[in-house]
Structure 1
Amino acid sequence: MQNPLVSIVIPFKNTEDYFLECLSSISQQSYLNFEVIAVDDSSTDGSKKIATIIANTDDRFTVLTNQGTGIISALQLAYRKAKGTFITRMDADDVMSSTRLEVMVRSLQKYGTNHIAVGKVKYFSATGVNDGYAVYESWLNSLTADGKNFSEIYKECVIPSPCWMVHKSDFDRCGAFNSEVYPEDYDLAFRFYKNHLKCIPCDQVLHLWRDYSTRTSRTSDHYAENTFLDLKFHYFKEIELNPKKNIVLWGAGKKGKTMAQKLINAAIDFRWICNNTKKIGKHIYEVEMQSVTALKEIENPQLIITVANQEDQKAIKTLLESLHLTSYEDYYFFC
């Protein structure tokens, strides 16, 4: 089929200030064969009314009411109604570029199943985009341009939740939205990775990401730092952990200590190294802190690195490469 149906699922709650712009950007897509399944998650403002007005004038739009509670339940309801060959998600406060669906559909038609169509993103805000989001945007787009998103998945979510598209058959194979794990977008990215889907390179901005003070990613406990670490550690154990290797934790800051506790609680033996001369030789959680030089004596190491400074990361990578260690086989940056 030349122009297969695309199902767009949209959970929404109290986004009346932005929802019309979001839905209008979908209505104005250059690709016409789509369906929108929008699920209201207990809105108390005019969001549902806005969606209903659009649905009454365009039969490609359907508005449902969440029978459960929360974004995952809303996504699951929307997906149960989806009939498309391709599946994508949209957030109710964001904006699609006019060619987003067309670019993604053509990419998937070219590359076939076992692939994810992604696109570059751009943050925008009425009050200006802060430095943290600007850095994340630049990092994410650099990965997307080459389709190398999964090469740094343990650092941060590498698939922007509203800017991907997959074959429905692949989505079902990856478990669709059938997960109660938060943050649900990062969990889905890990499941794409676990099932060996490949990202299709894209050098176009296909999604405009709106930032504002009450956006869910800013306010929800599900996006707290410890939740991200829980998710990373869960998938590291499931996908990467090699019983034939010796686990080494690099870094003794806050994240390093949190990871040490997780390793201890999981009964995983590990060596702990750092560059901080004040900590070397001391015991934290009854584990001796060793110098980085000890790494040269450890056979078959598998490193979890929690050092966040970018310049330090470059130096670490140079050292590990000099020891003939390979990224995503022998070492993983967790931040």
Structure 2
Amino acid sequence: MTTSPRPAVSVLMPVYNAASLQRDGQSALESAVQSVLAQQYDSFELVAVDDGSDDDTLRILKSYAQADSRVLPVSIPHGGIVAALNAGLEAARGRYIARMDADDTCHPERLALQAACLDASPQTGLVSCRVNFAGDREVNGGYARYVDWTNTLLTAEDIALERFRESPFAHPSVMFRASLIAEHGKYADGPFPEDYELWLRWLEAGVNMQKLPQTLLNWYDPPTRLSRTHANYDVDNFYALKTRYLARWLAQNNPHHPEITIIGAGKTSRRRANLLREHGITIRCWIDVDPRKIGNIVDGIRVCGRNALPETGKGFCLAYLAGHGAAEELEPFLAAKGYRKGIDYLLAS
């Protein structure tokens, strides 16, 4: 009995009832598989984990496996995305793990470029890429703006400092070293987005992450996407997860810990920032530009104008700004005052 050589890259693709989704007259699942098999890179396997589908998903995957030995179908009882991801990690043989979803497509050079980056940068643990938002920008403008924002985060520094605003990666765009699983743990199951939790955990452990400037993935936005339908991705769960990691970051990096100044005094901003108080963080004051709010006492804390911002080196500010473009307006103002991101302030929403 012969064993095929160990591939450099294992493409991990969890699949659940994906056979019926059609795009441009073809099954989206088949488009995804074909985009992987068309890679300009030889040393890979596609670990396609069927999460107990009750449609033709497994049959389709097995038909590809019969035609191409690089396709490895794995069938498990239905257990959800985390169970499927971790089953795929167990089956994967590559030294690098590339994520892929069954309703997206990747560009032919994706694996080659990402693997080359990890080969050339031993200090880099994870590399992503820019993605093309392939959904409807008019209907799903918020999601499109999120994708545009992630595409601005290329350096390890930007990714690390921006991670408390949103997840800095489209999950199916990443490739990471398989050794990170043994070092820092696999996907965790709980009331939170499993990918964001993994990035926060690994970044906290010091894993270096970067993003290639090339656009190498078409990220579609079907109505069945888990981030739209599953309770784990609910906004309250998202902020509970983020707050837990943010509180630990502040304890390690805020020289004025546990005191912070919160920029943003709207109802939503206060609700999110108040979660930090459950972790022992003390809020010095709220900062806002709305004259109707300035001078009020809300949640036991005074609302002040921007003139109450601490001098550089004498306080740490955390910005919770929900409005579109608000953070982009704030940062030049703070820079003009000499504030440095990660030292004097951080954006948290």
Alignment of 1:213-292 (within 5 A): 213-241=223-251, 242=254, 244-245=256-257, 246-271=259-284, 272-292=286-306
Write out per-residue CA displacement over residues 187-218 of structure 1, whole angstroms, 9 at most, x where no aligned residue. Answer: 12212322333334522111111112222222
> Number of paired residues?
333
Partner secondary structure for residue 205 of structure 1: strand
Q: Which amino acid aligns with 2:264?
A: G
1:145 touches 1:203 (CA, 8 Å); kept in 2?
A: no
Is 1:101 the counterpart of 2:111? The answer is yes
Cα 1:207–1:267 change in 2 (3 A) is: same
Cα displacement (A) at 1:92? 1.0
Write out per-residue CA displacement over residues 22-47 of structure 1, whole angstroms, 9 at most, x where no aligned residue. Answer: 11111111112112222222323222
Counterpart CA distance in 2 for 1:49 and 1:59 is: 15
1:21 match: 31
Counterpart CA distance in 2 for 1:171 and 1:178 is: 11
1:326 match: 340
Write out per-residue CA displacement over residues 157-215 of structure 1, whole angstroms, 9 at most, x where no aligned residue. Answer: 11210111122223432323245352011112212322333334522111111112222
Cα 1:254–1:41 change in 2 (3 A) is: farther
Is 1:313 the counterpart of 2:330? The answer is no
2:40 match: 30
Cα 1:181–1:114 change in 2 (3 A) is: farther
Select which of 9, 14, 21 maps to 1:11.
14
Counterpart CA distance in 2 for 1:202 and 1:178 is: 26
RMSD over aligned Cα, in angstroms?
Answer: 2.5
2:51 match: 41
Cα displacement (A) at 1:319? 3.4
1:295 match: 309
Structure 2 residues without counterparts, runs of 5 or longer: 1-5, 22-27
Cα 1:210–1:280 change in 2 (3 A) is: same
Write out per-residue CA displacement over residues 248-297 of structure 1, whole angstroms, 9 at most, x where no aligned residue. Answer: 11212233121243133334221222222222222222222233322236
Q: Which amino acid aligns with 1:294?
A: A
Cα displacement (A) at 1:327? 0.6
1:114 touches 1:170 (CA, 8 Å); kept in 2?
A: no
Q: Which amino acid aligns with 1:257?
A: R
**Structure 1 length normalisation: TM-score?**
0.89
Counterpart CA distance in 2 for 1:77 and 1:283 is: 52
Counterpart CA distance in 2 for 1:139 and 1:260 is: 22
Cα displacement (A) at 1:325? 2.4
Cα displacement (A) at 1:309? 3.5
**Structure 2 length normalisation: TM-score?**
0.86
Counterpart CA distance in 2 for 1:281 and 1:207 is: 49
Is 1:121 the counterpart of 2:131? The answer is yes
Partner secondary structure for residue 316 of structure 2: strand
Which structure 1 residue ranges, 4+ long, deviate > 4 Å from structure 2? Answer: 126-129
Cα 1:140–1:127 change in 2 (3 A) is: closer
Counterpart CA distance in 1 for 2:157 and 2:128 is: 8
Partner secondary structure for residue 290 of structure 2: coil
Q: State the identity %.
A: 29
2:190 touches 2:232 (CA, 8 Å); kept in 1?
A: no
Structure 1 residues without counterparts, runs of 5 or longer: none
1:155 match: 165
